[in-house]
Structure formats: C-alpha cells, structure tokens
Amino acid sequence: MRAAAASPTQTERVKPEQANRIADLRADFPALATQVNGKPLAYLDNAASTQRPQAVMDALNRYEVEMHANVHRGVHARSDQATAAFEGARERARAWLNAASAEEIVFTRGATESINLVARCLDKRMGEGSEILLTRMEHHSNIVPWQQLCERTGARIQVAPVLDSGELDLKAFQELLHSGVQLVAVTHVSNAMGVINPVAEICRMARRAGAPVLIDGAQAAGHIPLDAQDLDCDFYALSGHKMYAPTGIGALYARRPWLEELPPFLGGGEMILEVRFEETTYNAPPHRFEAGTPNISGAIALGAAMDYLAGHGLERLAAMERELLEHATERLRGIAGLRIIGTAKPKSAVVSFVMDDIHPHDLGTILDHEGVAIRAGHHCAMPLMERFGLPGTARASFAFYNTHDEIDRLASGIETARRLFR
C-alpha cells in the first residue's frame, strides 16, 4: 500500500510574490470569497463552468444601464451604441481565435449550439457512404448532433479509439481517415480527462485526406492560446461560460468559404435581406447564421472576458494552471487506492480519478461538506467511461485562480472519505 505523500503547504511551495499575485487575481472573482456548508468555497469544477471576474460583471452591468437597445436597427443613438459594442465583441473573438475576418465569427448559445449549427447545415453534403470521424473521448455535444445528421442523411459515424493513457490513438485515427470521410470532429481538450489532442497534427492529416475539420474547443479556449489560421481548421466551437463569461453565449469560427456555402441554420429576423411570401433572400454571413435578436449582453461580456484574460496574459495564466495540475497530480497520486484516468501528456488542468470502493458521487458529497466543489459522474462522455469500464469518475478541474491550499483540502477530503468507507 502506498503511503499518502507528505506535501509541502502552499506557503512552503509558493513564493511570497507568487502568493500575492494569486491573491490579487482571486480578488477579481467575488464568488471565490464565498462560503459553502460553512467552509470557504474551494471551487474545483472549472471544466463544468468557470467563475466570472468583476470586470465581466461590470461590462454586463454597464451595457444594461448605458447601452441596451436592439442591434443592427440603428435609427437611434442607443441602438448604434449597442451595435458597436456587439460588433466590437465579434472583433475581440476574431482576435482571440486569430480568424482572418470578423465575418468568420458567428455568435451562438455555446459550444453545443455551434456544433449543432454545423451539423444541421451540412445535410446537403452528406449521404449514404459519407463518414464522420469522431474520437472515443468526445463530449455528448460532439456526438449526438452527428448521430442526428446520420439519421437525416444516411451518413455513418466512425470512432477513433483512445489508448489506456487517455491519448488518442493517432495510428488508428490515420487508418480511419480515407476518402469517404466528409468531416472530422474532434475535441481540442477532453473534458473528462484533460488530455490535450494534437489538433494541429490532426488538421494536417485531415487536410491530406481532403476532410474538413471541426474542433470542439469548449475546454481549450480559456486556457490555450489559439490561432485558427495556423491550425488550419475549418470550424472551431467555443463556449463563453467555460472562459469566465456568462452562460448562454458562445461562438463558432468558420472559414469564410464555408459560411458562404452553407445554408442558414435557423430562420427569422436578422438573417434575411428581403422576405416575400414568394421568396426570401438571406443576409450575408455571419448574420445569416444569427436569426432573431442575439444575446447582446452575453457577447459583450464574452468580449470583456477575453480582454481580462489577454490583459493578464493567457500564457502566464496557463503556466499557473500547469503548476496547479502538477501539484494536484502529485498530491492525488499519493493517496492509496486512487487511480487517475487520463495520464497522457500534455494535459490541461483536469484530474479525473476513481477510488477503490467509493462511488464518485459519495466522494463528491463528502467533499462538498468540506466546501470543496468537484464534479462526479460520466461528464457527458459516456462512450469514454465505457472504454474504461467505469460508470463515472470524480473530476477536479482547476483555473488559474485556484490555490495549493484548495488542492490540499481536496486531498484531505479524499483521505477522510477513504477512512469513512474503510
């Protein structure tokens, strides 16, 4: 039996100036100063949703008070202001993804809607004999829309396997990439394990095979610097609430030729140029894909979240998360009976694990009593859980604002659970 590793405390491991920097960053997030079950909140469920900095909430509030009006109908000053702020957010998203133009950014409700948009609009390109290549580690959001597409068109799904370490089996992926593959849809980062896929390599392989690529970037966009042009992907989906912005906002990057070619997603106002009962003509992209009044405040808040992250330096924040991952991996590895699912490198700051004889939900409940918020279950990745023969895992996921102390509280909560269930 392994003994629990004695770990240095936060103050021993983290230099004073670093601790000050973390304290300053934490002060930007009021939610982190709250209590749960009488204990200070240790929020370790960032892969499910991140907390918002005050700057994002201020941007939201400023918009609501000073600017709110409907957009793109500018016969009055406030509507002009709202439109400028909304389109300004699109430009921020362009810069975030290094898209060639802001017209390549479509605002959506989140990564799920971004993926559904593409799946819905691809019907005409798919038929009997078409294949969509996914991986075993996809989130349900990057599986179900493709299954629905297959039901509508007769296309088939192929699934690239995952190795025991959680790494994508690239050799098998290559073998599945043949001329019938009409689309590759792959996650940038596995939400259930944190494993980072080699998406640049995947795009190169797919390009050689003539297959377009959609990347589900829900878990990457707030943690990894992105460059859609350099990646050479066709579509990139991102989610606002996983990158310090509110829920109900996300974006889809799509290369311009795709947006020119694809039919509209939803029908309604905003997406049209002219409507007659005989015939309707559609607006140019991206508006063609944004039917109805958009989530104006959400888009502006997403822009503010991007500004916040850029202001602090995403690379620097990512380095802080890597350091937290190292500490958490070291602490959790030292706990007897604990097995980490997803050991491949590189990884984002997610540790998914199972404990001998303790159901992940029981673990989650015990930790919650200690004020430690983690996620337990299948993480919307049931095919991946099945691959590992597990009903689910416990998952701690970190953001740059987390601390060693919080990770130490996680580890001691797990030890408590272990003693209770012995």
Burial classification of residue 300, based on how many CB atoms lie within 10 Å of its CB (0-12 exposed, 13-18 middle, 19 or more buried): buried
Q: Which is nearer to ligand PLP, 153 or 191 (CB)?
A: 191
Q: Which is nearer to ligand PLP, 112 or 283 (CB)?
A: 112
Least Å distance, CB 174 to ligand PLP, is 23
How many helices and strands (H and E) does the chain possess?
Answer: 15, 17
Least Å distance, CB 199 to ligand PLP, is 13
Least Å distance, CB 4 to ligand PLP, is 31
Q: What are phi and psi of 346, to 5 degrees?
A: -80, 160
**SS3 assignment, position 323:** helix
Asked if 203 contacts 232 with a C-beta cutoff of 8 angstroms, the reply is yes
| Structure token pair of residue 380 | 């919307």
Q: Which is nearer to ligand PLP, 287 or 395 (CB)?
A: 395
Least Å distance, CB 393 to ligand PLP, is 14
| Structure token pair of residue 149 | 């597409």
Residue type, 58: D
Helical packing angle, 111-121 and 144-153, nearest 10°: 10
- Residue found by looking up tokens 């918020």 in the block: 373
Hey, what's the torsion of the CAs at 301, 304, 305, 306, to 10 degrees? 130
The reply to whether 150 belongs to the active site is: no
Hey, what's the torsion of the CAs at 324, 327, 332, 335, to 10 degrees? -160
Nearest C-alpha neighbor of 187 from the set 149, 239, 150, 265 = 239
Helical packing angle, 296-312 and 54-62, nearest 10°: 140
Asked if 418 contacts 358 with a C-beta cutoff of 8 angstroms, the reply is yes
Spatial separation of the C-alpha atoms in residues 80 and 342, rounded to whole Å = 49
- HSE-CB of 297 using CA atoms within 13 angstroms: 17
Q: Which is nearer to ligand PLP, 111 or 126 (CB)?
A: 111
Spatial separation of the C-alpha atoms in residues 302 and 216, rounded to whole Å = 18
Q: Which is nearer to ligand PLP, 182 or 219 (CB)?
A: 219
| Contact footprint for ligand PLP (CB under 6 A) | 110-112, 139, 141-142, 187, 191, 216, 218-219, 239, 250, 380
Spatial separation of the C-alpha atoms in residues 270 and 252, rounded to whole Å = 17
Least Å distance, CB 295 to ligand PLP, is 12
H/E stretch holding 55: helix 54-62
Catalytic option among 121, 203, 233, 380: 380
Least Å distance, CB 144 to ligand PLP, is 11
Least Å distance, CB 183 to ligand PLP, is 16
What amino acid positions are annotated as catalytic residues?
A: 380
